[in-house]
Structure 1
Amino acid sequence: MKNYKSSKESRVSITELMLPAHSNFSGKVHGGHILNLMDQIAFACASKHSQHYCVTASVNKVDFLNPIEVGELVTLKASVNYTGRTSMVVGVRVESENITTGVKKHCNSSYFTMVAKGPNGENAPIPGLVIDTEQGIRRFSRSIKRKEQSIKRSSNFKASKFKIEEHIEELNNENVKIDL
């Protein structure tokens, strides 16, 4: 196994035709189907980079920006944005294309934290990331910031550390009735 790999070495993309079986009650492609495809491509990209079986540890926020229609082609692209010792952040971008007009839409993007697993289920070391572009530095740095924010968010709202008096005023302008 190499000590370092570029994101180009593990980049993956897939294109799939959206069928009626993929639709939800309103006739659009079901978000759950897209999330499943996103998880699959994140797995493929992470496994290709690490040369190990990988599991999904977390998924960063997913915003559905544009609906996907039955009959459109959906292309998912994944690349490694960040590497830790045994984990990596895989960026996933989803685009749809109307096959009759050629119009493409960015549908969503997200970041999957994937962990490499060894043969006995233990976390396995992975190659570091070779960064050779300014965009690579931006993506790696952004992943570090997301990680820091996640840790801070988790600790700020931990039940044992939560102080109601620090948050109760924030709720005054919200659609909530407090009945303690």
Structure 2
Amino acid sequence: MSPDHLVFSGPTRLADIVFPGDANHHGTLFGGTGLAHMDKVAFIAASRHGHVDFVTASCERIDFNAPAKIGDIVELVGSVVRVGRKSLSVEVDMIAEGPLSGERRHCSRGVFNMVAIGSHLEARGGTLPPLPDAVTCIKDPDTHPAMVEIVFPEKTSHYGSLYGGNALAAMGKAAFIAASRHCRKTVVMAGSTRVDFTSHIQSGEVVITVPRVIATGRSSMQIEVQLWAENLHADERRQCGAGEFIMVAIDEDHRPLSFNGVV
């Protein structure tokens, strides 16, 4: 898969899974965790637009319209909707998806106001770039959606770069989401045929995982996951690794379950 076939432009997307540790006592996504996800996407979208450092100044009214339940895939989509001289606004939508049914529920929408800070803004003339003209997005059947996450210090090793275990967790999560969406069955990871890391990912950079189903068997799927890093200040991306994961569809007794899988 070449870099030209990866969807890096357009809205910023973050996909995650609601695990029990993210839920409240009702078994749904804790509101504070949802807000943290939304703010994170707003920060990445703002940084991708301005290539400078940002802080959150405020967020406008946010209503939670539907819950995200334990086991749901939750997708956050952020788009820059207003640009001033040193501030901008990002609209963020949060959508929950049932991994088995494919049902998607719009959970929340909010606008986050971000303010540019630091020396990078002065180096760029002290003003943020204007909002681009409307762009028509053409869906290419050969493209694959890229999911993003930011590297905070607690995810790094003592070398200051992304800890390998956290990189593997991000790749495994991407493989799970791709496999679930492909077969709409309960899936588990059966193994990994190979994972190679070719470049460090530093604190403050964005991790991009791009999953793709490359083969299917009677009850198994082979998922290729590319790992990329993005320097938000320089608008530069580099491939940092790739891996292949075997995911298996299972029934209620955790036995392999046949499905009609076509790549």
Normalising by the residue count of structure 2, what TM-score does the alignment of the two structures yield?
0.45
1:35 aligns with 2:39: no
Distance 1:131 1:89 in 2: 16
- Residue 24 of structure 1 is matched in structure 2 by 24
Contact 2:53 2:120 in 1 (8 A): no
Distance 1:47 1:125 in 2: 14
Pick one of 129, 132, 141 that aligns with 1:130. Answer: 132
Structure 1 position 120, deviation (Å): 8.4
Contact 1:18 1:72 in 2 (8 A): yes
Distance 2:43 2:53 in 1: 8
Structure 1 position 133, deviation (Å): 6.2
Identical-pair percentage? 33
Structure 1 position 9, deviation (Å): 4.5
**Cα offsets for 1:104-144 (capped at 9, x unmatched):** 0000000001011123898x42100122269xxxxxxxxxx
Structure 1 position 26, deviation (Å): 1.5
Q: Letter of the aligned partner of 1:95 in structure 2?
A: I
- Residue 82 of structure 2 is matched in structure 1 by 82
**Cα offsets for 1:75-123 (capped at 9, x unmatched):** 000010010001111010000000011100000000001011123898x
SS in structure 2 opposite 1:43?
A: helix
**1:1-180 → structure 2 map (5 Å cutoff):** 9=9, 11-119=11-119, 124-132=126-134
SS in structure 2 opposite 1:130?
A: coil
Q: Letter of the aligned partner of 2:44 in structure 1?
A: A
Q: Which one has a larger percent strand, Structure 1 or Structure 2?
A: 2
Contact 1:10 1:46 in 2 (8 A): no
Structure with larger RCO (C-alpha < 8 A, sep 6+) = 1
CA-atom RMSD, angstroms?
2.3
Contact 2:15 2:74 in 1 (8 A): yes
SS in structure 2 opposite 1:114?
A: strand
SS in structure 2 opposite 1:129?
A: coil
Q: Letter of the aligned partner of 1:111 in structure 2?
A: V
Contact 1:23 1:29 in 2 (8 A): yes
Q: Letter of the aligned partner of 1:47 in structure 2?
A: S
Gaps of 5+ in 2: 1-7, 137-263
Q: Letter of the aligned partner of 1:126 in structure 2?
A: L
SS in structure 2 opposite 1:40?
A: helix
Gaps of 5+ in 1: 1-7, 135-180
Distance 2:18 2:91 in 1: 22
Distance 1:53 1:129, change over 3 A: same
Distance 1:24 1:121 in 2: 40
- Residue 165 of structure 1 is matched in structure 2 by none
Contact 1:10 1:45 in 2 (8 A): no
Structure 1 position 27, deviation (Å): 1.4
Q: Letter of the aligned partner of 1:108 in structure 2?
A: S
Q: Which one has a larger percent helix, Structure 1 or Structure 2?
A: 1
Distance 2:37 2:81 in 1: 19
**Cα offsets for 1:35-54 (capped at 9, x unmatched):** 00000000000011010110
